[in-house]
Structure 1
């Protein structure tokens, strides 16, 4: 079967070469041995599966590469209208929001019993792996890398909320769904739950058709009236990721939810010239003393993003602005006042 000729977006000159995709070759590669948890979704393991597929090129055209394939398949093996609409909605959404910090959908394959979406693969895996599941011998992420990752995610969310024709709410921002390319550039993935808000910024979303959010990352308004759900649910989840980057803690661990722990302890951590904060940052970060104030200001932004009232959270425009200039207004400035001791 003839392949589809597509271009891959990357910073490397080699990426200007075409990727030639052989549809049947991809379908044949979707075996149990190739299943991977590349990113997280509430539907993975139900009617969606993720695979890593190695493509060698066709007839000397293109170059070898690795792709992510998401397979949509009902348990009865029938492609119904709901499955097809869900798959095509994700494909058209991603095709309309091309951005360096958002996963790129390359191709669509349909068979009688399943539909497949093909995405670019980020070779360094997920942020979750680097923060919480490092393999022996791997160096921890440096602070400049962590800051660049935070800015990359903020850029992607800023584009979703402010750079599209209508705001797009991701609903599933977690360290598992932030992928890292060969240069550790952050790429947001897992758009199966994303919604376009036709009403505009700060306006309530339509009633959700599925359960959104991941425990530890989910904004408290998910458990309240649906009329409170806006793009600020993504801001909350982003704030949790910032707290992970600074502390190395998981979103929901032995101390409970990271966002609540950070909010309850913020004043103590920032007191006495960051005395207690210094022992709360991720011990794996090299040269901590050099970056301590930057880490404190990112922590402060994480707390501001995870306040209970969504209207008091910064927009992603403001969050990105604060990250780029050092995360705060003045030395420790922010929306809240835990520094005013």
Structure 2
């Protein structure tokens, strides 16, 4: 009996345990199925949300890009319209900057047969007299290359007019002032004051022929005036203006031998000027014309100072002879190193007491200006100080 009761209780417990396990497993399966169904619903819903969010983001980005592109295009259209309204008109007839010159008298004078003063790669220069008796110098420039299209000509004409307005605003005693200009179909006529004494090149030629006595005092005054004109162009003008073609033929002398620089700033007007070279052209220009700087103008001034001191032309065959260095700069440096700088001085110069020492100092200044390395050349500011400190001034 005992064993049967025991076995019956045992089987009852086993049956109850199995029942509990069945109920637990059923409940767990139901829970898993419900969770799975709920997860599928959530996944479906989250996928839809993400798709909607993606569409919203794409719409926003496309809208922003479209708005940005539209704004940029609108701004460009407005800018082009403003530039069109503000562009410089191509002026017709004379443009006058001096009360001494009237448009009517200028046009009448230009129509006459004028006296040719000289010609070069840059253009021709004439002398003419206005109806009021004023004598003027007219430089006719042809800035257009043959075969240039009309559209390019109109653009170049506007650029030239803008540049001429800048040049006409410059005022310095050592610069030739632009008094007026006239636009012609394929050229420009620039009007300047006529200088009766001619250029420095003319004066030096007359001095060689003993027709014009040029003492050291006058030559030093010329050198100081030239470098003061450069100082104004290099330091006072904003933006800086480079001469680009400084040589004795472009240094005019008035009755008191006060020099005035001409042809300054014409590089933007004359395409042929960039191809013009002379003994006054700095060595860096031959390697790369874009390297032209204010120190390049200083080299050209050094040549002019050398001409005033020695009376020799930089293109003279003398410098090509054996032992003469090959250039004025090399020759002057050789004489300096040998202690024979006195041999470089022009024997025809009329000197006073103390002038020779000043001239020897000026030889050192010229040699520094003619350095092959632009950075080693003095500035126009330094040169004004150096030359004005000499005995005569």
Structure-2 change in CA distance of 1:91 and 1:101 (3 Å): same
Q: What is the DSSP-based 3-state SS (H/G/I as helix, E as strand, rest coil) of the residue aligned with 1:183?
A: coil
Q: What is the DSSP-based 3-state SS (H/G/I as helix, E as strand, rest coil) of the residue aligned with 1:168?
A: coil
Residue 99 of structure 1: how far off its partner (Å): 1.1
Residues in 2 aligned to 1:267 and 1:288: alpha-carbon distance in whole angstroms:
26
Matches within 5 A, 1:191-340: 191=264, 193-194=266-267, 211=274, 214-226=277-289, 228-256=291-319, 257-268=327-338, 271=339, 276-287=340-351, 290-326=354-390
Residue 321 of structure 1: how far off its partner (Å): 0.7
Higher-helix-fraction structure: 2
Residues in 2 aligned to 1:140 and 1:236: alpha-carbon distance in whole angstroms:
27
Task: Name the TM-score, length of structure 1 as normaliser.
Answer: 0.74
Residues in 2 aligned to 1:135 and 1:326: alpha-carbon distance in whole angstroms:
25
> Aligned residues, how many?
286
Q: What is the DSSP-based 3-state SS (H/G/I as helix, E as strand, rest coil) of the residue aligned with 1:35?
A: strand
Q: Choose which of 221, 229, 232 in structure 2 pairs with 1:148.
A: 221
Deviations 1:171-225 (A, max 9, x none): 11111111101211100001354469xxxxxxxxxxx995256321111111224
Structure-2 change in CA distance of 1:76 and 1:182 (3 Å): farther
Q: Does 1:182 align with 2:255?
A: yes
Deviations 1:251-288 (A, max 9, x none): 211123322322233222xx2xxxx4444312221136
Q: State the partner residue of 1:91.
A: 164
Residues in 1 aligned to 2:311 and 2:256: alpha-carbon distance in whole angstroms:
21
Residues in 1 aligned to 2:267 and 2:235: alpha-carbon distance in whole angstroms:
15
Q: State the partner residue of 1:331.
A: none
Structure-2 change in CA distance of 1:55 and 1:308 (3 Å): same
Task: Name the TM-score, length of structure 2 as normaliser.
Answer: 0.65
Structure 1 portions without partners, runs of 5+: 9-17, 58-63, 197-207, 328-341
Deviations 1:9-67 (A, max 9, x none): xxxxxxxxx444613222213x3x62212xx75322xxxx211112240xxxxxx2221
Q: Does 1:52 align with 2:122?
A: no
Instruction: Please tell me whether Structure 1 or Structure 2 has the larger radius of gyration of its CA atoms.
Output: 2
Q: What is the DSSP-based 3-state SS (H/G/I as helix, E as strand, rest coil) of the residue aligned with 2:249?
A: helix
Q: State the partner residue of 1:43.
A: 122
Residue 166 of structure 1: how far off its partner (Å): 1.8
Matches within 5 A, 1:41-190: 42-44=121-123, 49-57=124-132, 64-73=133-142, 80-81=153-154, 84-85=157-158, 87-134=160-207, 138-190=211-263
8 A contact 1:77–1:114 mirrored in 2: no
Structure 2 portions without partners, runs of 5+: 1-92, 320-326
Structure-2 change in CA distance of 1:298 and 1:160 (3 Å): same
Structure-2 change in CA distance of 1:120 and 1:86 (3 Å): farther
